[in-house]
Amino acid sequence: MKIAIYPGSFDPITLGHLDIIRRAARCFDKVFVCVLYNCDKKAPMFSPEKRLEMIRHAVAELPNVEAELFSGLLADYAREKKASILVKGVRNATDFDLEYQMAAINRGIWEELETVFLPACGAYQHFSSTMVREMIRYGQPLDKYVPLAVVEELERQKKADEDGRI
């Protein structure tokens, strides 16, 4: 059984991430989407629990995909899951340079841990969670960039803010 992990911060999940998850789900028997929340990124927009909830909604129709939270070393999570494959989406040469290094670091920690790169599909090549957070700050429509679960979460938050102000 080939078990793969697709790790990231997912703050929030984008359609680019979802495309990689769908494609990974066709390549492997089981895919764990792992929301890592110990990264040194400051001030996340969404709590780890909210990120997880949105991912779970977005992958609900994929039977061999599960999403979980993890705080720690990715290699430890992979061992815990008996997974020896990490999946990373690569959009451009900058991503590749970074991911190439991370793959070597992860193999240095556990030499059986392989990283498989999936090239981002052209339509999502310029998508990033950073870009989406910027769109949210400026109130831009998001349906082109993120799964419906994220749009609905933001609508809920907006309504709660408005109700709080009344």
Q: Which sequence positions are flagged as catalytic?
A: 17, 41, 91, 129
Q: Which residues inside 18-37 make contact with ligand PNS, applying CB under 6 A?
A: 36
Among 8, 16, 89, 147, binds ligand PNS (CB under 6 A): 8
Answer yes or no whether residue 87 interacts with ligand PNS by CB under 6 A: no
Residue pair 143/127 in contact (Cβ under 8 Å)? The answer is: no
Q: Minimum Å distance from CB 165 to ligand PNS?
A: 33
89 binds ligand PNS (CB under 6 A): no
Distance CA 25, CA 33 (A): 10
Task: Give me 165's structure tokens.
Answer: 């102000």
Nearest by Cα to 70 from 80, 61, 59: 80
Copy the structure tokens of residue 39.
């990264």
Instruction: Supply the minimum distance, in Å, between the C-beta of residue 133 and ligand PNS.
Output: 12
List 83, 87, 106, 142, residue binding ligand PNS (CB under 6 A): 106
Question: How long is the chain?
Answer: 166
